[in-house]
């Protein structure tokens, strides 16, 4: 296995990093404080092709392989200090565009993927419910067959991009008695009768990414907007989770690289007791640990990308990647705060924001506890 990037992949990664540094970081402290979604930045990302990295060119995407897409997303996270925007783009890419690409009909791909790639549409995935979080198949949202369509009724929570989304992938059951085998996916567009979405809820971190609740009250969806067959939601969810868990933190690896470089500069320039703080072993050890976490996170990420580029299933590897990168990002963010001291606690530094944003990575797309459970099951422990 050779995980070295080609010259073209390096150029792609660096060009997206430069773009993000120049175009996406303006007025970030205010936008974070006001929980403002960067719609203009979203469009700039689309113009760079980020929302359609894996989508074929015939549908408006860049038609990249998984390794090249991961390289692009790492560069995105390195250059873009707005972790909320990175999260929103990744959620759109892995939980909306990719399921349509994988499970959609050709008509669905032709009608929806170009808009999801060019910035016209913002996508969201509606799965979690008040009684169905980690236990995703216990959902209570129903899809009752009515003529040539379905009537969807239920309540979805924690819908990333929900308040600004134009298109929702909604999971519902066509038969609660079938449990997981009744779960079916539907494509629901903003403005559909019976569909309402709340305003953005206030969050600890990732504040520039919008999250809300979705309510469906006899929301009529035509049968041609069913994504896959009845009961195929189980396969769609599992496939989407494998890709999402594995790659949603690709941008975080870039953020960890940026974070490490920031801390190294601090250690070389900040002086205490007549020395640079990097000369103190307690500080240098933190930098070494940050470097180690970055290296292992990158190895797991690109190994997974190589596996998916080879067309292989990688359920355990995706869970391992998600678990390791999320935990590493939190630990390195804590170290960065300590290295920066009181200055790191100030909003203007961006250090405390990285920590707030990193904490959520241990929860979304399956908690760290769920990832450990998946890994244990795949190894036959439980």
The string of DSSP codes covering 66-82 is: HHHHHHHHHHHHHH---
The CATH-assigned architecture of domain 236-378 is Up-down Bundle (1.20)
**Active site annotation includes 144:** no
Domains 7-122 and 124-230 fall in the same CATH topology: no
Give the span between the Cα atoms of 70 and 254, in whole angstroms: 10
Nearest to 38 by CA among 150, 161, 127, 179: 161
Distance of CA 278 to the CA centre of its chain: 34
| Token reading at 308 | 């998916």
pLDDT of 132 reads: 81
Q: Quote the pLDDT of residue 382.
A: 79
Model pLDDT, residue 138: 82
On whether the CB atoms of residues 205 and 35 are closer than 8 A, the answer is no
How many other CB atoms are there within 10 angstroms of residue 104's CB atom?
A: 22
Domain 124-230: assigned CATH number: 2.40.110.10
C-alpha distances in Å from residue 156, one per residue of 198, 200, 363:
10, 14, 17
- Its sign, for the CA torsion 64, 65, 66, 72, is negative
Residue 230, number of CB atoms within 10 A of its CB: 19
Token pair 């990719």: residue: 98
Contact criterion met (CB below 8 Å) for 73 and 254: yes
178-210 b/e (C-beta count within 10 Å ≥ 16 → b): eeebbbbbbbbeeebeebebeebeebebbbbbb
* CATH class (in words) of the domain with range 7-122: mainly alpha
Q: In sequence order, what are the residues at sequence separation of 6 or more whose Cβ sits closer than 8 angstroms to the Cβ of residue 377?
A: none
Q: What is the pLDDT of residue 133?
A: 75
Task: Answer for the pair 375, 314: CB distance below 8 angstroms, yes or no.
Answer: no
| Annotated catalytic residue, options 244, 261, 317, 334 | 244
Mean pLDDT for each 10-residue chunk of the chain (382 residues)? Answer: 87 98 96 96 98 97 97 98 98 97 97 97 96 80 95 97 98 92 96 95 97 97 96 93 96 98 97 96 97 98 96 96 98 98 94 98 96 95 80
What confidence score (pLDDT) does residue 92 get? 97
Report pTM.
0.95
Residue 4: predicted pLDDT: 87
Contacts of 6 (CB under 8 A, 6+ apart): none
First to last CA, the chain: 31
3-state class of 240 per DSSP? helix
Give CA–CA dist 44/53, Å, rounded. Answer: 14
pLDDT of res. 37: 97
Q: How far is CA 125 from CA 19, 145, 156, 213, 376, in A?
A: 27, 22, 10, 11, 27
Q: Kindly list the domain boundaries of the chain, sorted by start residue.
A: 7-122, 124-230, 236-378
Amino acid 1: pLDDT: 66
């Amino acid at each position: 296995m050779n995980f070295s990037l080609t010259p073209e992949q390096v150029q792609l990664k660096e060009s997206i990093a430069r773009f993000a540094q120049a175009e996406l970081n303006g007025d970030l402290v205010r936008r974070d404080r006001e929980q403002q979604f960067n719609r203009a930045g979203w469009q700039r990302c689309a113009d760079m092709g980020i929302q359609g990295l894996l989508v074929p060119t015939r549908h408006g995407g860049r038609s990249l392989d998984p390794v090249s897409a991961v390289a692009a997303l790492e560069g995105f996270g390195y250059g873009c200090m707005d972790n909320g925007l990175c999260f929103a783009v990744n959620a759109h890419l892995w939980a909306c565009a990719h399921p349509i690409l994988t499970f959609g009909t050709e008509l669905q791909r032709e009608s929806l993927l170009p808009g999801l790639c060019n910035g016209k549409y913002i996508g969201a995935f509606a799965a979690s419910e008040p009684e169905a979080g980690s236990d995703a198949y216990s959902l209570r949202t129903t899809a009752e067959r009515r003529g040539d369509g379905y009537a969807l009724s239920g309540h979805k929570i924690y819908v990333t991009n929900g308040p600004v989304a134009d298109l929702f992938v909604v999971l519902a059951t066509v038969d609660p008695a079938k449990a997981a085998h009744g779960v079916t996916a539907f494509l629901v567009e903003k403005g559909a009768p019976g569909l309402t979405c709340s305003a953005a809820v206030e969050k600890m971190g990732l504040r520039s990414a919008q999250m809300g609740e979705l309510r469906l009250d006899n929301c009529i969806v035509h049968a041609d907007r069913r994504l896959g067959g009845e009961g195929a939601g189980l396969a769609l969810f599992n496939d989407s989770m494998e890709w999402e868990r594995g790659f949603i933190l690709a941008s975080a690896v870039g953020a960890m690289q940026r974070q490490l470089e920031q801390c190294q500069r601090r250690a070389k320039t900040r002086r205490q007791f007549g020395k640079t703080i990097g000369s103190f072993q307690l500080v240098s050890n933190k930098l070494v640990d940050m470097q180690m976490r970055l290296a292992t996170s990158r190895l797991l990420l690109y190994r997974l990308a190589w596996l998916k580029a080879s067309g292989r299933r990688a359920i355990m590897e995706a869970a391992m990647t998600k678990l390791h990168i999320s935990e590493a990002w939190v630990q390195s963010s804590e170290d960065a705060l300590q290295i920066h001291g009181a200055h790191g606690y100030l909003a203007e530094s961006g250090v405390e924001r990285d920590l707030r944003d990193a904490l959520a990575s241990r929860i979304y797309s399956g908690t760290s506890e769920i990832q450990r459970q998946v890994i244990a099951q795949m190894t036959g422990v439980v």
